[in-house]
Structure 1
Amino acid sequence: MTNIPETGRTPRVTIRLIVLQILVLSLLATLGGRLWYLQIRTGKEYAQKAAGNHVREVVEPTVRGEILDASGRILAGNEAKLVVSVSRTELLQQKDRGKAVLTRLAEVLGMPAKDVQDKVRLCDAKTPQPCWNGSPYQPIPVTKAATTQQALQIMERREDFPGITAQPTSLRRYTGAEGANLAQVLGYLSPVTDDEVQKSKDKEGRERRLPVDQIGRAGLESVYDNDLRGTTGIDRLEVDNLGRVIGSAGKTPAQPGNNLVTSIDARVQKAVEDSLAQAMVDARKVVDKDTHRNYEADSGAAVVMDVHTGRIVAMASAPTYDPNLWVGGIAGKDYQALTSKESNYPLLNRAIQGQSAPGSTFKVVSTAAAAQAGYSLGGNYACPSSLTFGGREFKNFESKGYGSISLARALEVSCDTVFYGLAYDQWMADGGIKPKKDAKDWFYKTAKQFGLGAKTGIDLPSEAAGRIPDRQWKQEYYDANKDAWCKQAQSGGNDYGTQVAKENCADGYQMRAGDAVNYSIGQGDTLVTPLQMARIYAALANGGTLYRPTVAKAVVAPDGTLVREIAPHEDGKLPTDARTLQYIDEATKGVVEQGSAAWKFVGAGWPQGKIELHAKTGTAEVFGKQTTSYLTTYSRDYAVVMTMSQAGTGSGASGDAVRRIYQAIYGVDDKGNIDTGKALLTKPQAELPKFNPDGTAVKPVSFEGGFAPGSTFLDPAPQTPQTPPTVPQMLALPALETTLRRSH
């Protein structure tokens, strides 16, 4: 028998079999490892998730806490209204993506079909209002003012309105207590976004915010959102594979939010808002002698601060708006009105965001700076009608000279040239164009010690810091703008702006003599907010303490018990000794008695001998615009500041309005007679309001300053509605507008 020679094919087959065996074993090992991981290592977790597939969560809305004034009046409360909402998820499951349903809904509600369709579309960068900026899985409200008949039509014909609900919902209501608006202080709500829901998840992945939540977007609603929001309830229902309820998997009841007590007095707020509005109307009737047209008075702000604590008693901003426009979703036309240039952006809180030059109200800072630099408070200083620095003439505001006068008199008559001379002298002492390494910069350093150029820390969002244009700022500003200046300088133009650009391109980083002297009277690149100036003048009134401004006083539980008090916070002291403070105090008193504001106070019958006021007027000049009016004042208890853009002089435009505020506070009539029975608040209210066991505020039996007729308080009798009524209850009511009140 012949042996067949062995070939190389057999080893190759063997190698392939071995490789195949290894692959099979590897796959089996991988599969086994994965099964171990799923069934053993994470089996419990997946079992829980599988069980969760048979549980449906029903959200129980909570009642948002109320915002109250210092006496317990409701500034922001809640009310139950019939809200018609659309489930976008259910609409998209329909063949026509819900178009027919929305058309029928529009007919029932008496709305254009396009308006309804626009309200349920999602917002993005290309989609204008109206649109929905909340979670796409949350029911989208179409109207917050459904009638009983409309609700019945929708509920009785559910087959015609799949995905549509009509049910009572707790909505925010800004009450306008005592006629006060407070839009920018209170803020507003809007739906939480998906991104915010995701960011709110805790370490275990649980959502602290739900897609149905409303979140504060501005003002106190934003800052104290966690206190006010409460906890949404969850009812977990067990269902079978057909979605039928077969039992309960537990329930987390809704917890109402806490109430926020503020230092705002609604009656004083109303007086401030009215005075500011009237002042703007009056200013528009006056012809500007420089432009030969009426003043525009396009915006303004006013602040009343308790000088002993820094608490805000009133804060107004104009133009303003109705905060209820945001409730239940804002209409497209309303949103456009609030954000358009034509409306001058009423969403801005100009008391904390409006930045402008302070004009001569800044001179109290310059006086303190001069004292720190070693200038005598007992000396006299030249007050000519004008001075020349660097070839440029700098005049008094009305080109009037007063000869040799004291710093106090310079404050009284608001002499610019006295402060020009002091600032120039210090600029030269620091090295002028070529500053010394150890330049004292007293005028800039003192302003920062007064708290300017930095946020005050008030408990309101988006506060502006203002600006102190010292040497460091000049350099940084030059570095950021050099290229633009030089490009404009090379354009060949001969207008004022191009001439300035040429100068800045060459040496815009330098602190020139003109910069220094302009700064000393609150002009040039200096920017402040009305709140910053109120804080400074409050410190002058209280002996030099700079308090952190606050609006909120306490957080109170729904049953009226104190959760926490927000105590006054001392941030520091003014950089002045007692002698300098007394000197400025006497000078600002003189402004009211025989200075630039006398014609609006003592000359108008103010009882200065009984209620002593102090003031400083300011008229800030702005290139290309009419002058800004600034008036800063204080009494024994309050600092009152008012400013108006393009409105005229400090005393001329704001004097009457500020006097009217003091008249309302202290009960002074136009003849100077004092009637404490008509006074709104002769002293700041230090105590918190008292509450009944049900959380409603108790009206005090007596209170210094009294209560104006029509003050909004509930009777002490307990009242306990804390959740919205059901649909049948709503439909049984004679009026579909039940206010949810827990403290009033």
Structure 2
Amino acid sequence: MSNIPETGRTTRITVRLVAIQILVFSLLLTLAGRLWYLQIRNGDEYTAEAASNHVQQVIQPATRGSILDARGIPLADNETRLVVSASRTDLMKMKDDGKAVLTRLAAVLDMKPQEVMDKVRLCDAKTPQPCWNGSPYQPIPITDEATTQQALQIRERAEDFPGISAEPTPVRRYAAPGDANAAQVLGYLSPVTDEEIKDAEKSESPLLRSDQIGRSGLERSYDDQLRGKAGITRYEVDNLGRVIGKGKSERAEPGSNVVTSIDARVQAIAEKELALAMKEARKVSDRNTGTNYKADAGAVVVMEARTGRIVAMASNPTYDPNAWVGGISARDYRKLTGKKSNYPLLNRAIQGQAAPGSIFKVIPTTAAVNAGYRFSDRYPCPSSYSIGGQVFKNFESQGHGSITLGQALEVSCDTVYYGLSHQQWQKDGGINPKKHPKDWFYKTAHQFGLGKETGIDLPNEVSGRVPDRQWKKDYWKANKDVWCKQGKKSGDYAERIAYENCLEGMKMRAGDAVNYSIGQGDTLVTPIQMATIYSAISNGGTLYDPTVGKAVISADGKKVREIKPASHGRLPMDAKTNRQINEALAGVATRGTAAWRFGGWPQDKIPMHAKTGTAEVYGKQTTSWFASYTKDYTIVMTISQGGTGSGASGPAVRNIYSAMYGVSPDGEIDRGKALLPEPQRRLPKINRDGTVEAKSFGEKYTAIGTTGRRPEE
């Protein structure tokens, strides 16, 4: 029997009970505090997170705006097609990654199973086209050309095609009205990538996984305006995926329409005339090689001389932009990106660089006047010009005695410019230049806008090149090691050039100066640069930024933003020099190197100004150039390995003018047949419902042939 008193034992039990009560109370207090924290203090936050876990979004893609010509004719719009798509997420949940489903789908669509499987694989550095470069969570289009019967088969046998959908969907269409393709100007679309979605998160125009964006041309330049805003419907669902409510939704906003300055009729003519000129050039024998000209690429630009607006722009070889709609096939992708097809994705009007030949001579003519040589003075035009032991010949070794600068432009006398540039080179110190040489001929080219982009509203324009002293130094630093390794003093031509460049490639030699003066050597220009320059000569000296977009019109027609012409400078010539050069270029068309192509032209009613160019390129046949303008328009055409300027490009340029002004081969003007005798000033009519009222396209154009004697340049 215990000796502990009963009162002591009771006290200890009481203490233990109190301790247990305190512990329980503390636990309850802690739990209550945690519940308060979760439900009261941070309740809204966790409620939102919980709700978001049970919200599903349904995206309604916005209808993309149309791209219209100056009269409202659609160049790119949308049409409803039956699109069959595959959910890669659903397919990857299957044991065979959906191969069985895709094989059955291929049979329904009359496609090869591998072709269908290639379309749903994801693009990476090692995966060739076709592949999917959009989000892996977005439905991947297999075809946009499904028939009604095929769509019904898929939908009626849904159990055989899990993850496959067949729905009517607006699809981009490149209409090519009257065969006006305009592929490189319009561009194309492809699905947005995850990286692009992330980059656009904080922008004013965020991207959704369902978006397609412009990859080139106007589709890229005006993508934000054309794309619109996708609609989002949010549904609240339970854990079993059943809809239990509808959340906040946003209506889709269709994209705006872009009205361009392109005239589809003139665009069609420009494309056809360029293609025909190249075809005809391939029939002509090259006297230097004994083979026919290859005429492997070309471009033409038709520009409003007083605004810089583009009326037509064609590049050849070309392609059908509809090839990208619904995903491009492997065969088409190889065609568009392969060397064999000569890279038709390139817009050679803004990305094709070549030596300009004699169309460059308006620049050294201006440089000579600014350097102190008078336009009306006479300068020797011998058949050749010698510097040391090197002989520089005039075109076809012709001499014209003593002539003015205007006459030098008319007959395209190389030796006049050789002499003037050589003199300036000597005044600047020759091979060892002064500390601050005048460099009139190079300085003037930069003032004309060469060596930099024109600012056209199309992506990926290139800048060309003015091979001045700084360029020579930079180029030498980059290449001297190779030159010194390959060069031989007594080797072949290429080895001797490498040897000379190794020793003094950083210096401006006399040969560099005289070659540059006639648009040869290392000088590179683009057709859009030369069109901008000749337009400036036509309008009195203003260098306009070339533009294709003319206005952006909202889908409801209530908002119209016109794109006004803008200038990036003026030509470095006074009014007198401008007038003298104008007269000389008119002489080129009436009695100079282009006269045989413009015989019978109504010069008194539509004064024509022109300059021919034949640029020599080492290792290739000559490049054909033809630059021209009236008071309204400028047309510049070039054909790579196409022969002479007047011989290859001249007839095509005349035919484009003839169609625009309604001029017959014998020089009669029929205003009723003139497609665009003056630039289109007004925008097309916009209806109250926002639709743009387009004029009828008109009859198809048939090329008018021209005749003439043998080309002189």
**Residues 662 and 673 in structure 2, CA contact (< 8 A), matched pair in contact too:** yes
CA distance in 1, matches of 2:676, 2:64: 29
Which of 435, 438, 453 aligns to 2:436? It is: 438
Question: In terms of mean alpha carbon deviation, does 95-104 or 588-597 score higher?
Answer: 95-104
1:341/1:34 CA distance change after superposition, 3 Å: farther
Matched, 1:51 2:40: no
**Residues 394 and 413 in structure 2, CA contact (< 8 A), matched pair in contact too:** yes
Which of 258, 265, 268 aligns to 2:266? It is: 268
Which of 656, 661, 668 aligns to 1:661? It is: 656
**Residues 390 and 514 in structure 1, CA contact (< 8 A), matched pair in contact too:** no
CA distance in 1, matches of 2:466, 2:38: 63
Residues 282-332 of structure 1 show CA distances to partners (whole Å, capped at 9, x for unaligned) of 000000010000000000000011011100010000000000000011111
Q: Give aligned-pair identity as a percent.
A: 65
Compute the displacement of 1:98 (Å).
Answer: 0.6
CA distance in 2, matches of 1:188, 1:573: 35
Compute the displacement of 1:493 (Å).
Answer: 8.4
3-state DSSP of counterpart to 1:595? coil
Deviation above 4 Å: which 4+ runs of structure 1?
Answer: 31-43
Counterparts of 1:33-432 in structure 2 under 5 Å?
A: 44-202=44-202, 208-432=206-430
CA distance in 2, matches of 1:189, 1:410: 49
CA distance in 2, matches of 1:586, 1:336: 49
CA distance in 1, matches of 2:700, 2:654: 24
Matched, 1:570 2:560: no
Residue of structure 1 in register with 2:699 after alignment: 709
CA distance in 1, matches of 2:37, 2:133: 41
CA distance in 2, matches of 1:108, 1:699: 40
Q: What is the aligned residue count?
A: 672
CA distance in 2, matches of 1:135, 1:352: 32
**Residues 67 and 260 in structure 2, CA contact (< 8 A), matched pair in contact too:** yes
CA RMSD of aligned residues (A): 2.0
1:34/1:511 CA distance change after superposition, 3 Å: farther
Q: Which amino acid aligns with 1:598?
A: A
**Residues 83 and 144 in structure 1, CA contact (< 8 A), matched pair in contact too:** yes
Question: In terms of mean alpha carbon deviation, does 631-640 or 34-43 score higher?
Answer: 34-43
Compute the displacement of 1:483 (Å).
Answer: 1.1
Residue of structure 1 in register with 2:7 after alignment: none
Unmatched 5+ stretches in structure 2:
1-30, 702-713
**Residues 680 and 708 in structure 1, CA contact (< 8 A), matched pair in contact too:** no
Which of 510, 517, 526 aligns to 1:513? It is: 510
CA distance in 2, matches of 1:563, 1:277: 36
3-state DSSP of counterpart to 1:445? helix
CA distance in 2, matches of 1:521, 1:512: 15
**Residues 385 and 393 in structure 2, CA contact (< 8 A), matched pair in contact too:** yes
CA distance in 2, matches of 1:443, 1:596: 24
Which of 558, 562, 566 aligns to 1:561? It is: 558
Compute the displacement of 1:560 (Å).
Answer: 2.3
Q: Which amino acid aligns with 2:627?
A: T
Q: Which amino acid aligns with 1:689?
A: P
CA distance in 2, matches of 1:520, 1:37: 82
Residue of structure 1 in register with 2:669 after alignment: 674
Compute the displacement of 1:86 (Å).
Answer: 0.4
**Residues 198 and 207 in structure 1, CA contact (< 8 A), matched pair in contact too:** no
Residues 193-243 of structure 1 show CA distances to partners (whole Å, capped at 9, x for unaligned) of 01111111128xx99211110000000000100000000000101111100
Compute the displacement of 1:710 (Å).
Answer: 7.6
1:397/1:710 CA distance change after superposition, 3 Å: closer
Compute the displacement of 1:41 (Å).
Answer: 7.7
Residue of structure 1 in register with 2:603 after alignment: 608
Normalising to structure 1: TM-score of the pair? 0.88
1:599/1:36 CA distance change after superposition, 3 Å: farther
Matched, 1:588 2:585: yes
Compute the displacement of 1:608 (Å).
Answer: 1.4
CA distance in 1, matches of 2:512, 2:237: 76
Matched, 1:533 2:533: no
Compute the displacement of 1:43 (Å).
Answer: 5.5
Which of 682, 685, 705 aligns to 2:680? It is: 685
Q: Which amino acid aligns with 1:708?
A: G
Residues 705-744 of structure 1 show CA distances to partners (whole Å, capped at 9, x for unaligned) of x962389xxxxxxxxxxxxxxxxxxxxxxxxxxxxxxxxx
CA distance in 1, matches of 2:81, 2:468: 55
**Residues 554 and 562 in structure 1, CA contact (< 8 A), matched pair in contact too:** no
Compute the displacement of 1:699 (Å).
Answer: 4.8
Question: In terms of mean alpha carbon deviation, does 500-509 or 31-40 score higher?
Answer: 31-40
Unmatched 5+ stretches in structure 1:
1-30, 701-705, 712-744
CA distance in 2, matches of 1:43, 1:390: 91
3-state DSSP of counterpart to 1:287? coil
CA distance in 2, matches of 1:86, 1:145: 15
CA distance in 1, matches of 2:99, 2:364: 68
Normalising to structure 2: TM-score of the pair? 0.92
**Residues 101 and 160 in structure 2, CA contact (< 8 A), matched pair in contact too:** yes
**Residues 59 and 235 in structure 1, CA contact (< 8 A), matched pair in contact too:** yes
CA distance in 2, matches of 1:248, 1:212: 21
Compute the displacement of 1:672 (Å).
Answer: 1.1
1:42/1:453 CA distance change after superposition, 3 Å: farther
CA distance in 2, matches of 1:35, 1:387: 98
Question: In terms of mean alpha carbon deviation, does 278-287 or 31-40 score higher?
Answer: 31-40
Q: Which amino acid aligns with 2:120?
A: V
3-state DSSP of counterpart to 1:251? coil
Residues 394-428 of structure 1 show CA distances to partners (whole Å, capped at 9, x for unaligned) of 00121000011111111000000000000000000
**Residues 336 and 345 in structure 2, CA contact (< 8 A), matched pair in contact too:** yes
**Residues 268 and 313 in structure 1, CA contact (< 8 A), matched pair in contact too:** yes
Residue of structure 2 in register with 1:735 after alignment: none
Compute the displacement of 1:485 (Å).
Answer: 1.1
Matched, 1:650 2:645: yes
**Residues 279 and 657 in structure 1, CA contact (< 8 A), matched pair in contact too:** yes
Compute the displacement of 1:572 (Å).
Answer: 1.3
1:142/1:699 CA distance change after superposition, 3 Å: closer
CA distance in 1, matches of 2:40, 2:605: 85
Residues 349-368 of structure 1 show CA distances to partners (whole Å, capped at 9, x for unaligned) of 00000000000000000100
Q: Which amino acid aligns with 1:229?
A: R
3-state DSSP of counterpart to 1:437? coil
CA distance in 1, matches of 2:228, 2:691: 18
**Residues 560 and 692 in structure 1, CA contact (< 8 A), matched pair in contact too:** yes
3-state DSSP of counterpart to 1:505? helix
Residue of structure 2 in register with 1:466 after alignment: 464
CA distance in 2, matches of 1:612, 1:413: 19
Compute the displacement of 1:438 (Å).
Answer: 1.9
Question: In terms of mean alpha carbon deviation, does 493-502 or 243-252 score higher?
Answer: 493-502
1:478/1:161 CA distance change after superposition, 3 Å: same
Q: Which amino acid aligns with 1:210?
A: L
Q: Which amino acid aligns with 1:126?
A: K
CA distance in 2, matches of 1:620, 1:404: 24
**Residues 135 and 209 in structure 2, CA contact (< 8 A), matched pair in contact too:** yes
CA distance in 2, matches of 1:47, 1:440: 75
